[in-house]
Chains A and B, each alone.
Chain A
Amino acid sequence: MIEVRDLHFAYAAGGEVLKGLTLSFGAGEVVNILGPNGCGKTTLLKLMLGFLPAPPGSVLVEGRDIRGYGRRELARRLAYVPQAHHGVFNYTALDMVLMGRTAASPWLRFSDDDQRRAGAALERVRISHLAGRHYLQLSGGERQLVLIARALAQNSAFLIMDEPAGGLDYGHQFHLLKLIRELADDGGPGFVLTTHHPEQAVYLGGRALMIKAGLLTADGPAAEIIDGRAVRDLYDLPPEFSGGPASAWRDYAR
């Protein structure tokens, strides 16, 4: 359970990015965060992960202020999936996934349990065959799956993802969302993710949050609150925008 209470945040240079957000994320929930560029989505994720210092009392993880957590403690509760990146060092996929066990055993060898969990995480995203391959030689879609497996290996209650489908081609976006839905249905963890595509939130299902200019404007089941009008208002689109793509994806979802 992650609670956000009247969260305000401003970067050192510039005005307030978040202007009092209050919301909570329950165990096993799938939550899509929508909003135009600069609305504060990514800032919210960074505050929830402790990358940025949240004001005291405004972000609580399992009822405790996030500021009171050590990194290792927090890593056992929240895992982060960055966008598929280039990386610098050419680790094997298995080594990357084993890094998810760092918080559990920071010294010397990985235990048999660590190895088993890493193997299981690769299995869950169905890339066991990539275990021995080098990360930098994988495609963008495969890298994203490795990063998800690494987060799953952390065995935390939530996976927090910043635009997981960003940079992937259309087909891979579809497969990724399908995978997230299956993982969520298959005993979790909870997923909190940002997206630029309302139709993908409809397809993924679960809950949707709309954030505009640092304020929460809508919060409810994705299938109910995402429609042509809501999308028009969120992104300041002209009246002729009909919201077509959202309904198309809804048909996929059924």
Chain B
Amino acid sequence: MNRKVIGLMAALLLAATVLVLPVGRFPVTVGDMAEALGLWLGGGEPDARQEQILFLFFQVRLPRILAAMLVGASLSVSGAVYQNMFLNPLVSPGILGVLAGASCGAAVGIVIFSSWPVTQALAFLGGLMGVGLSLFFSSLYPKARTLALLVGGLVSSSFFTAITSIFKYLADPTRQLPELVYWLMGTLSRSDAGQLAWISPLMLLGLTYLALNGKTLNALSQGDEEAQALGVESGRTRLKFIGAATLICSLAVILAGIINWVGLVIPHVLRLMVGPDNRTLLPATALGGALFVLLTDTLVRSIWTVEFPLGIFTSLICMPLFAYSLWHDWRRG
């Protein structure tokens, strides 16, 4: 049954990819694209329009689609992992201060350095610092580490949000502030093939590592003592999984800025559908998150002539979804 769900979701994701390929300002059909690609694969000589289509496919549509899928998968899987690590189905990547830390790093990059590569590197560093601060707080109260880590995450989030506000206040209002605000809203409009080439292997590595560790995550979701008795070095393993989840999450922030809610709602909804067993849940969450962000991103870049930030729409769509899943969860007992 669960394998069927995963197979079905993979098929849906593939179908969605083909369907969204022709969506965009440049008018092109799937048939045109297939023809141009066939020619390219066969080593033929494309005409001017086919050249354009190939450029569009490789430099615009494909990177954007891949970025949407990777961001969705990474945010959702890291959310599912955090939920297991903290024994709480209602936490999200934001809880460890990763998103707040990353947005703070981005703010520093935009305002002080005004350089896109530096901004990206600082966003990643900020994400790591966000978790670092949370972990530091948990180490101050070793009696209840799991709880202390959550409180540490809250402290970390509000700390980095405060720093970000300082930079918003200091930012040049004509040039830097709009860029900063746009980043904070979350968008895939900046993703390009070059950026993807160095981010995607790391993301895929992190996703694969976590997806292969479903059994250990299951044991850890039982709490420290039970996990230890089941044969898992709980402290060290927990840190490894949190580290991997934070890595893919920070990479998602580099690709797309701050996209809230996906990391909370997608794993929560899928847990209702396929159950909590992480051997199934993690692959299902990766596919579900990829599908969700791909469809939402296609929506935001096609319904208006102006592109809206993706992060706003994920919040708008996720909220009722979350309310429904909570209600459903409660009703089922």
Contacts and interface: CB of A to CB of B under 8 A. Distances in A.
Contacts of A49: 225, 228-229
B89 interface: yes
Contacts of A50: 228
B44 interface: no
Contacts of A178: none
A154 interface: yes
Interface stretch (A25-33, A100-108, A168-176, A227-235): A100-108
Contact of A88 (B88, B216, B233): B88
A152 interface: no
Contacts of B333: 136-137
Given A88-B88, A88-B221, A91-B276, A79 B216 contact: no
A80 interface: yes
A165 interface: no
A79 B215 CA distance: 17
Interface string A115-132: 000000000000000000
Nearest to B234: A71
Interface string B276-314: 110000000000000000000000000000000000000
B276 A90 contact: yes
A192 B218 CA distance: 26
Interface in A44-99: 46, 49-51, 70-72, 74-76, 78-80, 82, 87-92, 95, 99
A91 B277 contact: yes
Interface in B233-288: 233-234, 271, 275-277
Contacts of A154: 230-231
A190 B161 CA distance: 55
A75 B229 contact: yes
A89 B221 contact: yes
B229 A78 contact: yes
Contacts of B224: 51
Nearest to B86: A88
A89 B230 contact: no
Residue with the highest number of chain B CB atoms closer than 10 Å, among A46, A49, A102, A107: A102
A135 to B, nearest CB: 9
Interface of chain A, main secondary structure: loop
Contacts of A110: 215
B226 A102 contact: no
Contacts of B151: none
Contact of B87 (A78, A88, A99, A105): A88
Contacts of B275: 90-92, 95
B262 to A, nearest CB: 20
Nearest to A153: B230
A250 to B, nearest CB: 33
A110 B215 CA distance: 9
A108 B212 contact: yes
A50 B227 CA distance: 12
Contact of A74 (B88, B218, B225, B231): B231
B222 interface: yes
Interface in B200-235: 212, 215-216, 218-219, 221-222, 224-226, 228-234
A132 to B, nearest CB: 11
A100 B230 contact: yes
A89 B276 contact: yes
B233 A106 contact: no
A230 B79 CA distance: 54
Given A88-B89, A102-B216, A75 B231 contact: yes
Contacts of B222: 87, 99
A10 to B, nearest CB: 15
B186 to A, nearest CB: 29
Interface in A150-191: 154
A154 B88 CA distance: 26
Residue with the highest number of chain A CB atoms closer than 10 Å, among B87, B225, B333: B225
Nearest to A13: B143
A107 B222 CA distance: 18
A105 B259 CA distance: 37
Contacts of B229: 49, 51, 75, 78-80
Contacts of A75: 229-231
Contacts of B218: 91, 95, 99, 102
A166 B210 CA distance: 37
Contact of B231 (A89, A92, A102): A102
Nearest to A110: B215
A76 B228 CA distance: 12
A107 B228 contact: no
Residue with the highest number of chain A CB atoms closer than 10 Å, among B87, B229, B271: B229
A106 B215 contact: yes
A75 B225 CA distance: 12
Nearest to B272: A90
A102 B276 CA distance: 16
Contacts of A95: 218, 275-277
5 contacts: A89-B89, A99-B219, A99-B222, A102-B231, A107-B212
Closest 3 CB pairs of A and B: A103-B231, A75-B231, A80-B229
Given A49-B225, A82-B225, 6 more contacts: A71-B228, A71-B231, A75-B230, A87-B222, A89-B271, A106-B232
Interface of A: 46, 49-51, 70-72, 74-76, 78-80, 82, 87-92, 95, 99-100, 102-103, 105-108, 110, 136-137, 154
